[in-house]
């Protein structure tokens, strides 16, 4: 597996999306290249293959794009974390703060439990609000969050610091 492949060549900057002032990191060029996509999954798998993790949990929608292939690569359970009203069985929920107002994430109540060792995964770490809500959701079940992993980290937004003391791993960091 090559770690010299520069993934930044496959991540496109879209200014002012979805609103003015946001520089959106578009990962669709990466997804459209199977060698590069596989390389990302391989790098994540290498990092977390030997850590006693039994579950990958990821938030919709782009977290699923990386979470499901990683779960299969490592032969682990995959647990979806979803927006309100999407999951069919009984759920637990966690509210979190947005710039304006609040949002909510849900997980099936029987998806994870005490003793489980969970890796949280998302495509982009920005302010960290989404992944902190996921961490609280997992903590509610009594399971342990071993680490948070990302394909892209926007280092200048300081999300990593807000996740302390949880370990953070990112494949690509924009300092």
Return residues touching ligand AMP (CB under 6 A).
Answer: 22-25, 62, 122-130, 154, 159
Q: Kindly state the smallest distance separating residue 123's Cβ from ligand AMP, in Å.
A: 5
- Smallest distance from the beta carbon of 75 to ligand AMP, in angstroms? 25
CB of 5 to ligand AMP, least distance (A): 20
Neighbours of 23 (CB within 10 A): 11
- Alpha carbon distance 101, 148 (integer Å): 25
Taking the complex as a whole, the smallest distance from the CB of residue 111 to ligand AMP amounts, in Å, to 19
In the annotation, is 106 catalytic?
no
Residues 78 and 66 sit within 8 Å (Cβ to Cβ): no
Residue closer to ligand AMP by CB (options 62, 82) is 62
Residue 164 bears catalytic tag = no
Q: Which is nearer to ligand AMP, 63 or 143 (CB)?
A: 63
The distance of Cα 74 from the centroid of its chain, to the nearest Å, equals 16
Cα angle, residue 49 at apex, residues 126 and 72 outer, rounded to 5°: 80
- Looking at the Cβ atoms of 62 and 136, the one nearer to ligand AMP is 62
Encoded tokens for 5? 């492949």
Residues 6 or more apart whose Cβ sits within 8 Å of residue 82: 59, 60, 105, 106, 107
Beta strands 55-59; 117-125: pairing state: parallel
Other CB atoms within a 10 A radius of the CB of residue 99 amount to 7
Of the residues 60, 62, 82, 144, which is catalytic? 62
Closest to ligand AMP by CB, 13 vs 110, is 13
Residue whose entry in the numeric block shows the structure tokens 């929608």: 61
Query: Which positions are catalytic?
Result: 62, 99
């Amino acid at each position: 597996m090559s770690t010299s492949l520069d993934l930044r060549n496959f991540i496109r900057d879209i200014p002012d999306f979805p609103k003015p002032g946001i520089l959106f990191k578009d990962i669709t060029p990466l997804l459209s290249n199977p060698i590069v996509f596989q390389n990302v999954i391989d790098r994540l798998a290498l990092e977390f293959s030997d850590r006693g993790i039994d579950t990958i949990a990821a938030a919709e929608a782009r977290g699923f794009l990386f979470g499901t292939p990683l779960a299969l690569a490592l032969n682990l359970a995959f647990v979806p974390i979803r927006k309100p009203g999407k999951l069919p069985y009984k759920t637990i929920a966690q509210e979190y703060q947005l710039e304006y107002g609040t949002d909510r994430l849900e997980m099936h109540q029987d998806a994870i439990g005490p003793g489980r060792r969970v890796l949280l995964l998302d495509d982009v770490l920005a302010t960290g609000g989404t992944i902190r809500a996921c961490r609280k959701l997992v903590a509610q079940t009594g399971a342990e969050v071993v680490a948070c992993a990302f394909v892209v980290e926007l280092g200048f937004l300081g999300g990593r610091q807000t996740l302390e003391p949880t370990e953070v791993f990112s494949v690509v960091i924009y300092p």
